[in-house]
Amino acid sequence: MTVKPLGCVVSVSGVRGIVGETLDVDQIVALGAAYGLAIADRGPVVVGRDSRPTGELFVQAVATGLRGVGCEVIDIGLVPTPTVPITIGELGAAGGIQVSASHNPVQWNALKFFAGTGRNIDQAQLDRLLSQYQQAPRWVGWQQVGRARAYGEALRVHIARVLAAVDRERIRRRAFHVVIDSVNGAGSVIAPDLLTQLGCRVTTLYTRPDLPFPRDPEPNAANVTETGAVVRPVGADIGFVQDPDADRLAIIAPDGGYIGEEYTLVLAAAAVFA
Neighbours of 262 (CB within 10 A): 9
Fill in the DSSP letter of residue 19. Answer: B
Which one is catalytic: 11, 51, 100, 102? 102
Q: Which residues of 169-205 are buried (b: 16+ CB within 10 A; e: fewer)?
A: eebeeeebbbbbbbbbbbbbbbbbebbeebebebbeb
Q: What is the DSSP letter of 102?
A: T
The Cα 194–Cα 189 span in angstroms is 9
Alpha helices in the chain (DSSP H): 25-38, 55-68, 83-91, 123-133, 154-165, 168-174, 187-197, 225-231, 264-273
3-state SS class at 115: coil
- Can 51 be counted among the known catalytic residues? no
DSSP 188-226: HHHHHHHHHHTT-EEEEES--TTS--SS----SGGG-HH
Which residues are catalytic, by number?
102
